Amino acid sequence: MRIGIDLGGTKIEALALDHAGHELARRRIPAPRGDYAATIAAIRDLVAALESETGKTGTIGIGMPGAISPATGLVKNANSTWLIGHPFGSDLEAALARPVRLANDADCFALSEASDGAGAGARSVFGVILGTGVGGGIVINGALLSGPNAIAGEWGHNPLPWMLPDEYPGTDCYCGKKGCIETWVSGPAFAREYAAENTDALTPEEIAAAALEGARPARLAIRRYSDRLARTLAHIVNILDPEVVVLGGGMSNIAALYEEIPARWGAYVFSDKVATNLRPHRHGDSSGVRGAAWLWPAD
């Protein structure tokens, strides 16, 4: 069987799949925030619990924030900062006494949706996370694309393309740059801009609900967000030209996006027609942990 672990900032989820992708067992626990040693121990104990429950031994894939630096073997770019600078992969292998495969959580989302989700059967899939942060992953012919810097798909830390005069230069990003895509199309960015222009502060879900009820400020906010997201995805289409773009994360649940973006991105894609399919995720919150399990291909 395959075991997938989704290591988040607030929870750790573990899933056991058989070789056909059917769920055998699942566990979820709070993440031991700020404690690296406890994180290793928690993953070890989750694997033991799944193997005890199923009576089987599994391969292990881990979806994690950030990435393992090819230069040092240490964690980099993780918002779970207690992981940064540690040899996470080798420490896990020592604790579990077997090989472990690791990938960024957005990569795991993309792999899950490409394997048996919304992008199944497509030769090229770009998976998008639109949540508290913004991330992406690339799957080509069923395999993750990583790259020599282990950052393939990190579109959230490129500048918003085709900036309008009132958008320039953009707000500060935690990465040290200004105007990164993440500062425009993440969930918090969407809510922050709405609050700045209106008297009420709403969550992204509340803004989407208000738009469905016909509230003009909310509809304008969705329209503006859709245009920005269309520009960023058109940039990806111009470079990668994927067959399918799959949206995940909280913002992906706004149904209007799947009409608004295809109606807008043609103005920015360098083609007479855009044949790329834009689809919502199939596996929802389970995509990360499923993709981690799929880091080990079928025998």
Model pLDDT for residues 242-289, shown as the tens digit of each residue: 999 999 988 999 999 999 999 999 999 999 999 999 999 998 878 889
Q: In the structure encoding, which two tokens stand for residue 299, read together?
A: 């025998």
Does some domain include residue 257?
Answer: yes
Residue 27's beta-bridge partner residues? 14
Domain that residue 74 falls in = 2-108+286-293
Q: What is the pLDDT of residues 225-235, one digit of tens each?
A: 999 999 999 99
- Tell me the C-alpha distance between 209 and 215, whole Å: 9
Whole-model pTM? Answer: 0.88
Q: Which residue has the higher pLDDT, 241 or 174?
A: 241
Return the half-sphere exposure (C-beta side, CA atoms, 13 A cut-off) of residue 261.
Answer: 27
Are residues 93 and 191 both part of a single domain? no
Domain membership of residue 115 (yes or no) is no
Is 156 in the same domain as 209?
A: yes
Tell me which H or E stretch contains 29.
strand 23-30
* CATH code of residue 147: 3.30.420.40
Q: Are 68 and 185 found together in one domain?
A: no
Is residue 229 in a domain? yes
**Mean pLDDT across the stretch 77-103?**
92
**Residue 63 falls within a domain, yes or no?**
yes
Residues 56, 136, single domain; the answer is no
Whether 101 and 194 map to the same domain: the answer is no
Are 142 and 243 in a shared domain?
yes
Q: Could you give the number of structural domains in the chain?
A: 2
Among 173, 255, 146, 148, smallest CA distance to 208 is for 255
- Considering the domain architecture, whether residues 49 and 142 belong to the same structural domain is answered as no
Q: What percent of the chain has pLDDT over 90?
A: 80
Rg, C-alpha atoms of the chain: 19
For residue 126, how many C-alpha atoms fall within 13 Å in the half-sphere facing its CB?
25
Indicate whether 299 belongs to any domain.
Answer: no
Q: Are residues 97 and 171 in the same domain?
A: no
Do 89 and 167 belong together in one domain? no
Are residues 9 and 95 located together in one domain of the fold? yes
Give domain status of residue 114, yes or no. no
- According to the model, what pLDDT value does residue 105 have? 87
Quick check: is 298 in a domain?
no
Asked if residue 116 belongs to a domain, the reply is no
Same domain, 131 and 101: no
Quick one: 98 and 132 in the same domain? no
